[in-house]
Structure 1
Amino acid sequence: MKDDKKKLSELGDLLAERMRKITNNFRLGFGSFVDKKLMPFIDPRIEKQLSPCPEPCAEPYGYKHQMTLTTNTEKFRAEVEKAEISGNLDAPEGGFDAIVQSLACNKTIGWRERARKMLVFSTDAGFHIAGDGRLAGVVDPNDGQCHLDRQGYYTETLTQDYPSIARIHQVIKDFKANIIFAVTQKNFDLYKQLSGALPDVSSSVGVLANDSRNIVELIEKEYLKIAEKIIMVDNANASDGLRISYRSPCLTGAMQDTNVCEGIRVGDEVKFEVTLEATHCVDKRDFVLRIGPSGLDEALIVNVHVLCDCDCEQTSKIVKNAAECNGGDMVCGVCRCKPGFVGRKCECNRPGMSTAALNEKCKRTNESAICEGRGVCNCGRCECNPRSNPEEQISGEFCECDNYNCPRHDREICSKHGQCNCGQCICLPQWTGRACECPISQDSCRASNGKICNGKGECICGRCRCFDTPDGKRYSGPKCETCPTCPTKCIEYKPCVMCQAWKTGPYNETKCADCPFKAIIVDELPQINDTTSCQFVDPADDCTFYYLYYYDEAKDNATVWVRERKDCPPPVPVLAIVLAVIAGIVILGILLLVLWKLLTFLHDRAEYARFNNERLMAKWDTNENPIYKQATTTFKNPVYAGKNK
Structure 2
Amino acid sequence: MGLSLSKSSAKQFSAALVLASSIWGVLPLTALAQSQVTSTVPGTEVDPAEYNIFLDTGDPLVVSVTVNVPLEAAPSKLDLFLLEDLSGSFANDLPIIRNLVPNLISEITALVPDTQFGVGSFIDKPINPFGSAFNGDYVYQTELALTSNQASFQSAINGLSTGSGVDVPEAQLEALLQTGVRGASEIGFRSDAFSVVVLSTDAVFHQAGDGVSAGILTPNDGDADLEGTPPGTAEDYPSVEQVKQALQAANVVPIFAVTSSVRSTYEDLVSKLGFGSVVTLSSDSSNLVNAISTGLSDIFTNISLIAVGDDFGYVKSINPPSFADVAPGESVVFDVTFTSDGSGSDDTLRLVAAGFGETVANIDVLDEDGGSGGVTVPEPASILGLLAFGGLGATRLRQRQ
Q: TM-score, normalised by structure 1?
A: 0.39
In 1, Cα distance between equivalents of 2:229 and 2:256: 21
Amino acid at match of 1:231: S
In 2, Cα distance between equivalents of 1:156 and 1:297: 35
In 2, Cα distance between equivalents of 1:238 and 1:163: 19
Distance 1:66 1:155, change over 3 A: farther
- For 1:161-200, list aligned pairs within 5 A: 161-198=236-273, 200=274
Of the three residues 165, 169, 173, the one matched with 1:88 is: 165
Amino acid at match of 2:326: I
> 2:226 matched to 1:116?
no
> 2:93 matched to 1:4?
yes
Higher percent of residues as helix: 2
Identity among equivalent pairs (%): 26
Alignment-derived partner of residue 209 in structure 1: 282
- Local SS of the residue matching 1:3: coil
Task: Using the TM superposition, give the Cα deviation of residue 141 of structure 1 relative to its aligned residue in structure 2, in angstroms.
Answer: 1.4
Task: Using the TM superposition, give the Cα deviation of residue 272 of structure 1 relative to its aligned residue in structure 2, in angstroms.
Answer: 2.8
> 2:177 matched to 1:100?
yes
In 2, Cα distance between equivalents of 1:282 and 1:220: 47
In 2, Cα distance between equivalents of 1:163 and 1:83: 25
Conserved? CA contact 2:248–2:352, under 8 Å:
no
Conserved? CA contact 1:42–1:90, under 8 Å:
yes
Distance 1:165 1:289, change over 3 A: closer
Distance 1:19 1:155, change over 3 A: farther
In 2, Cα distance between equivalents of 1:104 and 1:18: 29
> 2:350 matched to 1:263?
no
In 2, Cα distance between equivalents of 1:157 and 1:68: 21
In 2, Cα distance between equivalents of 1:272 and 1:41: 45
Task: Using the TM superposition, give the Cα deviation of residue 63 of structure 1 relative to its aligned residue in structure 2, in angstroms.
Answer: 1.9
Task: Using the TM superposition, give the Cα deviation of residue 37 of structure 1 relative to its aligned residue in structure 2, in angstroms.
Answer: 1.8
In 2, Cα distance between equivalents of 1:62 and 1:9: 22
> 2:292 matched to 1:219?
yes
In 1, Cα distance between equivalents of 2:110 and 2:143: 26
In 1, Cα distance between equivalents of 2:289 and 2:208: 31
Give the superposed CA RMSD: 3.6
Alignment-derived partner of residue 127 in structure 2: 38
Alignment-derived partner of residue 305 in structure 2: 232
> 2:206 matched to 1:128?
yes
Alignment-derived partner of residue 415 in structure 1: none
Conserved? CA contact 2:245–2:308, under 8 Å:
no
In 1, Cα distance between equivalents of 2:173 and 2:309: 29
Amino acid at match of 1:169: K
- Local SS of the residue matching 1:224: helix
Conserved? CA contact 1:36–1:158, under 8 Å:
yes
Q: Which runs of 5+ in 1 are unaligned?
A: 44-48, 53-58, 247-257, 315-645
Distance 1:297 1:144, change over 3 A: farther
Per-residue displacement from partner, 1:467-515 (whole Å, max 9, x unpaired)? xxxxxxxxxxxxxxxxxxxxxxxxxxxxxxxxxxxxxxxxxxxxxxxxx
Amino acid at match of 1:197: K
Of the three residues 232, 239, 263, the one matched with 1:157 is: 232
Amino acid at match of 1:68: A
Task: Using the TM superposition, give the Cα deviation of residue 286 of structure 1 relative to its aligned residue in structure 2, in angstroms.
Answer: 6.5
Higher percent of residues as strand: 2
In 2, Cα distance between equivalents of 1:224 and 1:271: 18
Per-residue displacement from partner, 1:550-591 (whole Å, max 9, x unpaired)? xxxxxxxxxxxxxxxxxxxxxxxxxxxxxxxxxxxxxxxxxx
Task: Using the TM superposition, give the Cα deviation of residue 87 of structure 1 relative to its aligned residue in structure 2, in angstroms.
Answer: 0.9
Task: Using the TM superposition, give the Cα deviation of residue 67 of structure 1 relative to its aligned residue in structure 2, in angstroms.
Answer: 0.6
Alignment-derived partner of residue 60 in structure 1: 137
Task: Using the TM superposition, give the Cα deviation of residue 208 of structure 1 relative to its aligned residue in structure 2, in angstroms.
Answer: 0.8
For CA contacts below 8 A with separation 6 or more, give which structure has more relative contact order.
2
Report which of the two structures shows the higher radius of gyration computed on alpha carbons.
1
Alignment-derived partner of residue 78 in structure 2: none
Per-residue displacement from partner, 1:316-362 (whole Å, max 9, x unpaired)? xxxxxxxxxxxxxxxxxxxxxxxxxxxxxxxxxxxxxxxxxxxxxxx
Per-residue displacement from partner, 1:356-410 (whole Å, max 9, x unpaired)? xxxxxxxxxxxxxxxxxxxxxxxxxxxxxxxxxxxxxxxxxxxxxxxxxxxxxxx
Alignment-derived partner of residue 118 in structure 2: 29
Distance 1:292 1:140, change over 3 A: closer
Q: Which runs of 5+ in 2 are unaligned?
A: 1-89, 367-375, 385-401
Alignment-derived partner of residue 372 in structure 2: none
Distance 1:76 1:259, change over 3 A: same
Task: Using the TM superposition, give the Cα deviation of residue 297 of structure 1 relative to its aligned residue in structure 2, in angstroms.
Answer: 6.3
Distance 1:195 1:289, change over 3 A: closer
Amino acid at match of 1:100: L
Q: TM-score, normalised by structure 2?
A: 0.60
Amino acid at match of 1:12: V
Task: Using the TM superposition, give the Cα deviation of residue 228 of structure 1 relative to its aligned residue in structure 2, in angstroms.
Answer: 0.4
Alignment-derived partner of residue 72 in structure 2: none
Amino acid at match of 1:129: Q
> 2:154 matched to 1:77?
yes
Amino acid at match of 2:232: T
In 2, Cα distance between equivalents of 1:95 and 1:145: 16
Conserved? CA contact 2:321–2:334, under 8 Å:
no
- Local SS of the residue matching 1:111: coil
